[in-house]
Structure 1
Amino acid sequence: MVFQCRRKRRWKNMSPKQDEEEPQTEDSSLHGGRIRSFKHERGNWATYVYFPYHPEEEFEELLEELLSAAASHGVVLTPQEEFHLSLSQTVVLRHHWIQPFMQSLRAGLTHCKRFVCSAGRLRVYCNAERTRTFLGMEAFTGHAQLLDLVRVIDQTLTEFQLETFYKDPSFHVSLAWCVGDLTEELKEITKELQSLVDERDDGPFHLNLDCAELRCRTGNKTFRFSLEA
């Protein structure tokens, strides 16, 4: 049975939990040639909602093999610094919106239950600006629960007149990226790369996410939202 996230408007007295704060930097040399999707302005906070993935040793070994195989075909990929499954696009929050945004999001998630989802099929993605190409691993379980969460998150985004998530999302964990649009080059070798995922000694590799704690990162702050057991 697919759970329903029942939204309640009792959020004025709820305080979101902020657990992490990271230093911000604007040194473009630290971004590997990546191009911003929007101009950085003081008071604007890049914001997105996601489930984190904490790599296992087997995943790290597989990723090394995938990068090596891609490089042998002339496609040099950079591994992600951290791994996650996105449930929103990256939007811009004004600083004074942060607290009410998090309160609204927490209220909407009140009755959402935790679950597990798994990914295993490699797919190629490119951003809207065609400035970066990604190798990702698409989820094959938990799709209905992820869609329910997106509906809740979209309601908060709509309240703040921000762009909602994709209409037909491909839920995935990005593994690695490169600058520019190398979609065709990566697609040509996807079958070979997929064989590295499927033909493991212990059977096909499945990336399993314990979807128990949703997170929202805005600028250098990360807010955490525990789902019901």
Structure 2
Amino acid sequence: MAGLSLIGEYSSDSEDEKLSSKKEENQRYNAGKRLPLPQSIKTWKGVDHHTEVTDDPSQHEGKIRSFKHERGTWATLVYILYKPSETLLSWMNLIRTHHSIEDGKIFEEFHVSLTRTVPLKFHWIDSFVEGVKKISENSNQFAMELTDVKVYCNDNKTRTFLGICCENDEALNDLTEALNKLLNEYLLPRFYEEASHHVSFLWCLDNQEERLKVKLPSLSSSLRNFIAENPQESYVQVQELHCKVGNRLYTFNLR
């Protein structure tokens, strides 16, 4: 009986070793296989793993990115969407010819930025978007007034813009400050210290500030005349915020 017991123990040990060996073999096999990328992630506009992206301004009308592509990050912006009337669009296009800015290009979409364009890590997206949603739910709808024209230049001086200033300091500044606090949680850059909220409508390559600033008195006068003739264009009702992350757009209603 003792001999049978020893044989049983030996047999059991051998089976355990075989199972352990098979398990280790399967683990090594599975470790060498890559899981397929989820379809939900494939729809995001980002940089593929191990892919080096070279910025080519010739593919983007000469525009240069404010920061390089980084694996696992998405360009993110919070803003107020603005849809000008056909009448105002006509005025914008007349500005180019009447004020000798033929090299300027009119934007296809218009907005009022409430943050800089910042690089957001993929694993931060859900919580950041939730933060923007909460800010929207705690903010009232408001109206902003279109006033005069100003010149703006981006941080690296590669593009210059003409923008229509938007005034409602209390509401716009409150939104900007709330978003600045959210950005701080992710160690992302705040909005400009001397915020000048505006709708950019025309852009030129390179630093054209000096050239365009000379035209500001006549440009602002032209805008004021336009608004006097079209008073319905002077105010914009703000009812929602937009947050763009990569190629995804989130829209949140103000209360």
TM-score calculated relative to the size of structure 1: 0.82
Deviation at 1:147, TM superposition (A): 0.6
Contact 1:84 1:173 in 2 (8 A): yes
Contact 2:164 2:198 in 1 (8 A): yes
Residue 76 of structure 1 aligns with an amino acid whose one-letter code is: D
Contact 2:74 2:120 in 1 (8 A): yes
Counterpart position of 1:184: 210
1:218 aligns with 2:245: yes
Deviation at 1:23, TM superposition (A): 6.8
Q: Which protein is richer in helix relative to its size?
A: 2
Q: Say how many residue pairs are matched.
A: 205
Structure number with greater Rg is 2
Counterpart position of 1:16: none
Counterpart position of 1:92: 119
Deviation at 1:164, TM superposition (A): 1.0
Deviation at 1:43, TM superposition (A): 1.8
1:114 aligns with 2:141: yes
SS, match of residue 219 in structure 2? helix
Distance 1:212 1:205 in 2: 17
Contact 2:159 2:207 in 1 (8 A): yes
Deviation at 1:207, TM superposition (A): 4.7
Report the CA distance shift for 1:44/1:115 in structure 2 as closer, same or farther (over 3 A). Answer: same
* Two-structure CA RMSD over aligned residues (Å): 2.2
Report the CA distance shift for 1:94/1:23 in structure 2 as closer, same or farther (over 3 A). Answer: closer
Report the CA distance shift for 1:187/1:206 in structure 2 as closer, same or farther (over 3 A). Answer: farther
Deviation at 1:80, TM superposition (A): 1.1
Report the CA distance shift for 1:31/1:208 in structure 2 as closer, same or farther (over 3 A). Answer: farther
Distance 1:133 1:75 in 2: 14
TM-score calculated relative to the size of structure 2: 0.74
Distance 1:192 1:205 in 2: 22
1:79 aligns with 2:106: yes
Deviation at 1:205, TM superposition (A): 8.0
Q: Which protein is richer in strand relative to its size?
A: 1
SS, match of residue 199 in structure 1? helix
1:48 aligns with 2:77: yes
SS, match of residue 119 in structure 2? strand
Residue 203 of structure 2 aligns with an amino acid whose one-letter code is: W
- The one of 122, 135, 138 equivalent to 2:162 is 135
Distance 1:53 1:24 in 2: 26
Distance 2:225 2:137 in 1: 41
Residue 61 of structure 2 aligns with an amino acid whose one-letter code is: G
1:39 aligns with 2:76: no
Contact 1:46 1:92 in 2 (8 A): yes
Q: Which moved more, 1:49-58 or 1:103-112?
A: 103-112
Counterpart position of 2:128: 101
Distance 1:64 1:45 in 2: 33
Give unpaired runs (5+ residues) of structure 2: 1-42, 48-54
Report the CA distance shift for 1:129/1:28 in structure 2 as closer, same or farther (over 3 A). Answer: closer
1:59 aligns with 2:88: yes
Deviation at 1:78, TM superposition (A): 0.6
1:126 aligns with 2:138: no
Distance 2:132 2:90 in 1: 36
Counterpart position of 2:196: 170
Q: Give me the identity figure in percent.
A: 36
